[in-house]
Amino acid sequence: MGEDMFDSSVNLEQFHIKEGYDLGYKDGLVSGKDEAWQVGLQHGFRVGEELGFYKGCVDIWDSAIAIQPELFSPRVRKSIQTMENLIGRYPLMDPEDESAQDIMESLRLQFKRICVTLGVKLDYIGYPMSSSQDVAF
């Protein structure tokens, strides 16, 4: 009879351990999804901002070419066109596409190459944020 009393104590302890685990797991799933959403949103914003910067540069260069094409060598025009093609190929709707990083690196390289050839000092430095700022959307 003494064993039954201890068995119920052990079972009660096991019940509370399992209940605590289940509650913690459920809360972890919710907070993990929220955190992943925030990280994804911030990353997507940064990528979109950088792509927008490069697209803006390409648009300005295309406009300048339309006005005074003789100022731009065929090599520079081809590089600008390559940048435009890379921007168009970036997988905006598929963030897990493995080509995204390669395309972004190619864009950065083309951008630097064009800037050096044109003799302009442009750098994409991103939106300046202090480390204490949180992004709120």
pLDDT at 73: 94
Please answer whether residues 69 and 126 qualify as being in contact, where contact means their C-beta atoms are separated by less than 8 angstroms. Answer: no
pLDDT at 6: 61
pLDDT at 9: 64
Instruction: Report pLDDT digits (tens) over 66-100.
Output: 999 999 999 999 999 999 999 999 998 887 888 99
Phi, psi of 130 (to 5 degrees): -75, 160
**What pTM does this model have?**
0.68
Q: Which residues of the chain have pLDDT under 70?
A: 1-10, 12, 127-137
Non-local CB neighbours of 122 within 8 Å, separated by 6+ positions? 57, 111, 115
Closest of 104, 108, 58, 56 to residue 78, by C-alpha: 58
Distance CA 80, CA 71 (A): 14
Under the phi-then-psi rule, with left for phi > 0, alpha for psi from -120 to 50, and beta for the rest, what region is 105?
Answer: alpha
Closest of 125, 121, 115 to residue 61, by C-alpha: 115
- Residue at token pair 């202090």: 130
Q: How many helices (H) and strands (E) does the chain have?
A: 3, 0
